[in-house]
Amino acid sequence: MDKTFDEVWDKCLKVIKDNVNAQSFRTWFEPIKPVKLAGNVLTIQVPSQFFYEWLEEHYITLLKKTITKELGPEGRLEYSIVMENNYVNNSMPYTVKIPAESGRTPKNNPVTVPIDLNQNTIKNPFILPGLKKISIESQLNPNYSFDNFVEGDCNRFARSASFAVANKPGGTSFNPLLIYGGVGLGKTHLAQAVGLRVKHLFPGKTVLYVSSEKFTHQFIDAVKNNTQNDFIHFYQMIDVLIIDDVQFFAGKEKTQDVFFHIFNHLHQTGKQIILTSDKPPVEMQGIEQRLLSRFKWGLSADLQVPDLETRIAILEKKLYADGIDLPRDVVEYLAYSITTNIRELEGALISLIAQSSLNKRAVTIDLARQLIDKFVKNTTREVSIELIQKIVCDYFNMSVEMMKSKTRRREVVQARQIAMFFAKNMTKSSLATIGMNCGGKDHATVLHAYRTVNNLIDTDKRFRSYIEDLEKRLAMQV
């Protein structure tokens, strides 16, 4: 009884499976389809020219041995490559056959090449043209690990979801995982932490981090060089794909279209997708609805502005990692002064240490204040509720904890009302937010405090001097 092409290829796969690792088998041999057996020539279909070149460079000896084993010494292999003129315009694919006969390179017409052709063209968009070695580097920063990520109320949910994904990539309902939040809150750090942990737990998985800008430039180059199919297939091979700042795809229709196809393939094959953005999907403008709907398939986790305790913990962790000891009051001053951007907070700390080292000056509150004045004035800074509380409590010589307590002592109540007064005047926070940060009070209490302080300014000379002194101290922070 004659063998069928399916039977021959199945027997070849059994031999191949025993000679390569599981990840390589899934990536490079499971997608292959046998399409024809004519005499001693087996034709197999591969997804792209890139795929063909990879097989030729890495598995040619193994393929020769298996074909010889199943079809005899005269056995030969023929490739059928699925090509596409313009994938992003949804054109129909067509096939290029490559028998093992001639030495010409495959183009857009049927040609023949020998099975042992050694191509030097590299299709990996992260490798410079002309290099012979094909490799997929993760592009991850080793410093962006979970160990270096400081957890707080502001990021606990996103951190927990990310950790769950890292432990079971593609195996949770958090696919895609979209992490969003403002500038400098740790989106990139958290996304890359997932990649680093996956690489540690699953060495066989291919992880790739790429910014949306880099992805777009690579696609543009692929269009120019007529290698869109290679570009798409490269990204479809990734097990964990991390795209940073996906909101920058806005308005780029072709880039969105090609990413849509890559996204679909990865999601359908159980691969993990991680995205970061400065806003949730419902607020993204200029992104196609079909892509936005896919962003919503998994989990969207937000990163909020870190609270005071988290900011202090971030500074202390960095100091500990660098083996540096700073006075506690200086650390607290930095944390009070810079409230909305972790990157700026760490930058201020580095600048302070550099100033101290280069100028041979001790790190003091005065030095920190001089630095913050210069550092923060480059950006528009809103005085925070926490900083107002700190300055008011220092002025009246009491702790912030005391001010937030439920005590009804006159001096504590007065300090609390003054803090609420300045918070309403100097921040954009709602009355409810101010009350919540001042001991869990409601908005009516804040409004009452504001009116009380205004009345005392008009009727109590000594009280008015308190307010004037505090206004001067707060003005130095703006």
pLDDT tens per residue, the chain (478 residues)? 467 888 888 888 988 888 888 777 877 888 888 888 888 888 888 877 667 777 877 788 888 888 888 888 888 888 887 654 433 333 333 344 444 433 333 333 333 333 333 333 446 666 544 433 345 677 888 888 888 888 877 788 888 889 999 998 988 888 889 998 877 788 898 999 999 999 999 988 889 999 988 898 888 888 888 888 888 888 888 899 999 988 888 888 888 988 988 998 888 888 999 999 988 888 888 888 888 888 888 888 888 877 777 788 877 777 777 677 777 777 777 777 776 667 777 777 777 777 777 777 777 777 777 677 665 544 445 578 888 888 899 889 888 888 888 888 888 999 999 999 998 888 877 788 888 888 888 888 988 999 999 889 888 888 988 898 888 788 766 5
Specify whether the backbone of 226 is left (phi greater than 0), alpha (psi in -120 to 50) or beta: left
Assess contact for 122 and 129: CB atoms under 8 A: yes
Considering only CA atoms, give the Rg of the chain.
31
Rounded Cα gap, residues 399 and 59, in angstroms: 70
Give backbone dihedrals phi and psi of 462, rounded to 5 degrees, phi first: -65, -45
Topology of domain 5-98, CATH: GMP Synthetase; Chain A, domain 3 (3.30.300)
Strand duo 272-277 + 240-244: pairing: parallel
Side-chain-facing half-sphere of 443: CA atoms under 13 Å: 5
CATH number of 385-475: 1.10.1750.10
E strand intervals along 193-324: 207-211, 240-244, 272-277, 299-303
pTM, full prediction: 0.53
Structure tokens at 276: 């970061």
CB atoms within 10 A of CB 392: 26
Question: In this structure, which amino acid lies at residue 230?
Answer: D
Q: Using alpha carbons only, what angle is made at residue 298 by residues 294 and 304, rounded to the nearest 5 degrees? A: 110
Structure tokens at 202: 């699953």
Which listed CATH number (3.10.310.10, 3.40.50.1370, 3.90.105.10, 1.10.8.60) goes with 308-376? 1.10.8.60
Strand duo 240-244 + 207-211: pairing: parallel
Chain centroid to Cα 446, Å, comes to 39
Q: Which CATH class is domain 156-303?
A: alpha beta
Domain boundaries, the chain: 5-98, 156-303, 308-376, 385-475
Rounded Cα gap, residues 52 and 134, in angstroms: 13
pLDDT tens per residue across span 8-50: 888 889 888 888 887 778 778 888 888 888 888 888 888 776 6
